[in-house]
Every structure is written in structure tokens, then in C-alpha cells.
Amino acid sequence: MKDETAELMILVREKRPLVHHITNDVTVNDCANITLCAGGTPAMGCTADDTKELAKIASAVVLNIGTPNEENVNASVAAGKAANEAGVPVILDPVGVGATKYRMDAARKILDNVKVSVIKGNPGEIGALAGVGIRMKGVDSEGLDGDPVKTCVSLAKDTGAVVAMTGAVDIVTDGNRVVTINNGHAMMNSVSGTGCMAASVIGCYASCTKDMLTASAAALAVFSIAGNKAAKRSKGPGMFIMNLKDEMASLTPSEVIPLANIRVM
């Protein structure tokens, strides 16, 4: 899968796919910029009429419920349906879904009405959607009860989506195949928004292949490698977030092949 990762990296930069986002207010700028650094072209929207039009011409649609309200949840459903009609992959980032009933209802509304290609979340978010015991601190995950691989496989089978659980070791599965990526750095948890940015990168890579498992694993590997390199030359979180974008933009396929720690289970 290392070669596929490098090939997708090249394709993304050649095609510069349009990735339409309905994302949260906290990280909208970071998501737009990491999309550019990955090689894509970002578009941001929040109203149903606008997002429906953008979804139809996009290469991928990323739906993020980090700051949910009635307008952006309805817009997410509208954009997701339009993307489904156009054959455009949809990535769902159910931010903080285990924290409140409102967020769970929002995520369920999207999943009930939209065919989602990839669900990307931290252990608490994936565990909440899978119905297993979780530990949350506000919208941040402090882990889940039970086996993380089995939890991801269960949710993938239930939803028909590829599930990408980010953490110390990332797990990606389509319910049958399971891939792990071990390239991250603890500093990636020291700033807000790295999870949201990861979903944006998945959107870029999902635009360039029909294999959502390969797209998700490749995107997380590239993003994690960039994060690891950024952390090694950063004194703290402020410098890290700038270096992360620089490393994402300057990373080359020839660097990724030897560095990608991808394991097919």
C-alpha cells in the first residue's frame, strides 16, 4: 500500500480536486488551508441551496458537525444527497458525537439520509456511533471500552462506509479489510483541528480513487508523516500548526514510501 499512497499523492496534486466542506466554525480556515497544502482546492458553504450546487460540481464533500445547528445540519443532508446523486464521495466527521444527544441526532440524521463513503473520527466518536462504551471529555475522546478494531469493523458493516479511527495508531476498515497506520506524533493532539484537517485530506484522496479504504489509509499516512516531521522541528503548538501545513505542502512521494508505517492486518 506504500506505492498506492505515493501514486495517490501524485494524482491529488495533478488533479487539484475540489473538496466542498460544511465544517465547524473553529477549524474552517485550517481545513481550507490543509486542503490546499495536500494539493486540493477547498470550497466552504453553510446554506442548503449553496451547498447543493457546490456538492454537484465537487470531487468530494466533507461534512463536519463540530459546531452543529439546524441550518448546517440541514445543509449537510442537502449537500450529501446532491453528492450521492452526482456520484461524489461523502466524508462524515462526527465531531463530539458522544458528547451530547443533539450531536448524536445530527450524525444519525446525516447517516439516515445520505450514503456516506467514509466516517472519520476519534475513538470516542467511532465508539459512540458503534454503540459501545466510551469516555469523553467535552468533545474530546478519552478512549472507548472494548477492542478498537472490532468496533471499527462493526460500524463499517452497519453503515456500509469505510471507517477511519484516528489515534496513537490509526485504524481503517471497510468491514473486511483492516489497515493500521502508525506515523503520528503526540503533538498532533496539542492543537485544535488536526482531526478536522485529517478529514479534509481524506476528501482530497477520496476524489482520486474508487477504493475508499486505500484513499483513507493513504491520506492518514501522508498527514501523519507531515505531522511527525512538523513536530520534530517545533518548539510548541503554535509553531507546530504552521510547520504542519508547510510539511504537508512540501512532502514528496519519494519521502512517503520509506516513511509510511502502514500495516495490512
The string of pLDDT tens digits covering residues 65-114 is 999 999 999 999 999 999 999 999 999 999 989 889 999 999 999 999 99
| pLDDT on residue 133 | 64
> What is the b/e burial string over 39-70, where b = at least 16 CB atoms within 10 angstroms of the residue's CB?
bbbbbbbbebebbbebbeebbbbbbbbbebee
Parallel/antiparallel/unpaired status of strands 18-22 and 41-44: parallel
Judge whether 85 and 45 are in contact, CB under 8 Å. no
| pLDDT on residue 203 | 98
| pLDDT on residue 213 | 98
Residues facing 163 on adjacent strands: 119, 173
Using CA atoms, how far residue 49 sits from 77, 91, 99, in Å, is 11, 19, 29
Extract the residue ranges of the chain whose pLDDT is less than 50: none
Judge whether 33 and 200 are in contact, CB under 8 Å. no
Closest CA to 188 of 219, 227, 160: 227
Judge whether 178 and 149 are in contact, CB under 8 Å. yes
| pLDDT on residue 2 | 87
Judge whether 60 and 206 are in contact, CB under 8 Å. yes
Q: Could you count the other beta carbons within 10 Å of the beta carbon of residue 236?
A: 10
Percent of all residues in the chain with a pLDDT value above 90, rounded to a whole number: 81
| pLDDT on residue 140 | 57
Judge whether 171 and 8 are in contact, CB under 8 Å. no
Structure-block grid coordinates of residue 70: 439546524
| pLDDT on residue 135 | 59
| pLDDT on residue 141 | 53
2-264 folds as UDP-N-acetylmuramoyl-L-alanine:D-glutamate ligase (3.40.1190)
